[in-house]
């Protein structure tokens, strides 16, 4: 009666649903403060005061026409502000005509994929990856091709990339700072990626795009800087959002920036505007376009996230867990204490610890902790992590 594919998808998302239900069960049984829920990347911080002030200002405006349809690309003054900010940060001069306002990064990824994919075109994703990529590629008639990151560094395995590129490869999705590992790709990695894609593009007479998913670009630690993908990768499409940088995930606001170095970049930008409309987003939320443009240089308190990272990372290493130290985002991706990470995750709930198995990111043998939670939750969880460790070691 319904779409077979979507009915099946209920089954495949059951892991997350089961975890959510387990969390509810534990909270009822022990009280919310005794349950250490690291399962969801939903920031517990509030947007900066300047953002809340801007929301009030624009929501209470009496200017006529504030709530009408607009260009499907978004307000031109908003796109101009974003284009100027990107140009300043990347050193690549980008015009407002190459910026499309979107419903978050998720909307931007779907719009970009729809704009570039023909049926059965291949899109490379690097495991561990944000699982929704597979659905987004499938939504837009593409085929996902998974390569692995090197597990000692979580950097892309370029040997596998070279092997897996075919004449059907249309794009590689990268995500730095990364969910779930927290690593940041260096200039060297981006340069190497660009070289490979240009060479392979020449070999197959194609263009291979890099779809750079960057919602964590402002959440980095220890004075790490995130190199500009626009600067290092010729055929790059940047997808960003304010979900994490301004703690606004519920407001669904983001953008796409198309590199002016792409051949015929204006056609690509123009079809993205059509995709935004016909995918049903029509345009990004009007109020929040104005809010983010007027607070373009603002950000959440990264120092708070760094304190949380340090507390959880040092705590787990102290106990004996193995984990790469993240440079950004708000996740840790430690090694599971048994090969079966799904079983490990289930057993952790005995200690009121909730997290996501690495299999949920295409990378079994690990688990992901989202530490965008109250610092007390992290502090109080450490004895439970110790008990969990002792059960398995």
Residues near ligand PLP (CB under 6 A): 41, 104-106, 130, 175, 179, 213, 215, 241, 243, 249, 254
Q: Find the shortest distance in angstroms from Cβ 338 to ligand PLP.
A: 26
Tell me which residue has its CB nearest to ligand PLP. Answer: 104
Nearer to ligand PLP, 125 or 233 (CB): 125
Q: Find the shortest distance in angstroms from Cβ 132 to ligand PLP.
A: 7
Q: Find the shortest distance in angstroms from Cβ 269 to ligand PLP.
A: 20
Nearer to ligand PLP, 23 or 215 (CB): 215
CA atoms within 13 A on the CB side of 381: 29
Strand partners for 238: 212, 257
Asked if 241 and 247 count as a contact pair (C-beta separation under 8 A), the reply is no
Q: Find the shortest distance in angstroms from Cβ 355 to ligand PLP.
A: 15
236-241 and 254-258: which strand pairing?
antiparallel
Q: Find the shortest distance in angstroms from Cβ 64 to ligand PLP.
A: 30
Asked if 311 and 38 count as a contact pair (C-beta separation under 8 A), the reply is no
Q: Find the shortest distance in angstroms from Cβ 194 to ligand PLP.
A: 21
143-148 and 356-357: which strand pairing?
unpaired
Nearer to ligand PLP, 179 or 381 (CB): 179
Q: Find the shortest distance in angstroms from Cβ 26 to ligand PLP.
A: 23
Q: How far is CA 273 from the centre of its chain?
A: 22
Q: Using CA atoms, how far apart are residues 71 and 111, in angstroms rounded to an integer? A: 16
Nearer to ligand PLP, 176 or 381 (CB): 176
Nearer to ligand PLP, 23 or 249 (CB): 249
Q: Find the shortest distance in angstroms from Cβ 89 to ligand PLP.
A: 19
Three state DSSP letters for the chain: CCCHHHHHHHHHCHHHHHHHHHHHHHHHHHCHHHCEECCCCCCCCCCCHHHHHHHHHHHCCCCCCCCCCCCCCCCHHHHHHHHHHHHHHHCCCCCHHHEEEECHHHHHHHHHHHHHCCCCCEEEEEECCCCHHHHHHHHCCCEEEEEEECCCCCCECHHHHHHHCCCCEEEEEECCCCCCCCCCCCHHHHHHHHHHHHHHHHHHCCCCEEEEECCCCCCECCCCCCCCHHHHCCCEEEEEECCCCCCCHHHCCEEEEECCCCCCHHHHHHHHHHHHHHCCCCCCCHHHHHHHHHCCCCCCCHHHHHHHHHHHHHHHHHHCCCCCCCCECCEECCECCCCCHHHHHHHHHHHCEECEEHHHHCCCCEEEEECCCCHHHHHHHHHHHHHHHHHHC
Q: Find the shortest distance in angstroms from Cβ 130 to ligand PLP.
A: 4
Q: Find the shortest distance in angstroms from Cβ 205 to ligand PLP.
A: 31
């Amino acid at each position: 009666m319904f779409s077979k594919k979507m009915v099946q998808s209920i089954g495949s998302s059951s892991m997350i649903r089961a975890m959510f239900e387990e969390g509810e069960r534990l909270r009822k049984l022990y009280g919310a403060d005794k349950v250490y829920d690291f399962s969801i990347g939903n920031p517990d911080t509030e947007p900066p005061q300047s953002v809340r002030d801007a929301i009030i200002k624009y929501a209470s405006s009496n200017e006529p026409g504030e709530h009408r349809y607009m260009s499907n690309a978004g307000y031109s003054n908003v796109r101009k502000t974003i284009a100027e900010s990107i140009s300043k940060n990347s050193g690549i001069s980008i015009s407002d005509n190459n910026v499309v306002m979107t419903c978050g990064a998720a909307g931007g990824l779907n719009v970009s994929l729809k704009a570039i994919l023909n049926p059965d075109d291949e899109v490379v994703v690097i495991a561990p990856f944000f699982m929704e990529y597979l659905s987004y590629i499938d939504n837009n008639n593409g085929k996902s091709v998974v390569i692995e990151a090197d597990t000692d560094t979580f950097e892309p395995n370029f040997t596998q990339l070279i092997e897996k590129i075919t004449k059907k490869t249309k794009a590689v999705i990268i995500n730095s700072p990364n969910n779930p590992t927290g690593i940041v790709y260096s200039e060297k990695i981006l340069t190497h990626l660009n070289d490979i894609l240009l060479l392979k593009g020449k070999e197959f007479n194609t263009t291979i795009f890099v779809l750079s998913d960057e919602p964590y670009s402002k959440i980095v630690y220890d004075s790490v800087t995130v190199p500009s993908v626009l600067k290092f990768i010729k055929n790059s499409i940047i997808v960003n959002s304010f979900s994490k940088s301004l703690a606004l995930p519920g407001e669904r606001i983001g953008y796409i920036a198309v590199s002016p170095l792409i051949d015929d970049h204006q056609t690509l930008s123009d079809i993205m505007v059509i995709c935004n409309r016909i995918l049903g987003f029509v345009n990004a939320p009007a109020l929040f376009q104005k809010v983010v443009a007027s607070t373009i240089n603002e950000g959440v308190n990264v120092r708070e996230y760094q304190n949380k990272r340090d507390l959880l990372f040092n705590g787990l290493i102290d106990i004996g867990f193995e984990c790469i130290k993240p440079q950004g985002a708000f996740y840790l991706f430690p090694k599971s204490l048994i090969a079966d990470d799904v079983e490990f995750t289930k057993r952790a709930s005995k200690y009121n610890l909730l997290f996501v198995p690495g299999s949920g990111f295409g990378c079994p043998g690990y688990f992901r902790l989202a530490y965008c939670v109250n610092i007390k939750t992290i502090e109080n969880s450490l004895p439970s992590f110790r008990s969990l460790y002792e059960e398995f070691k």
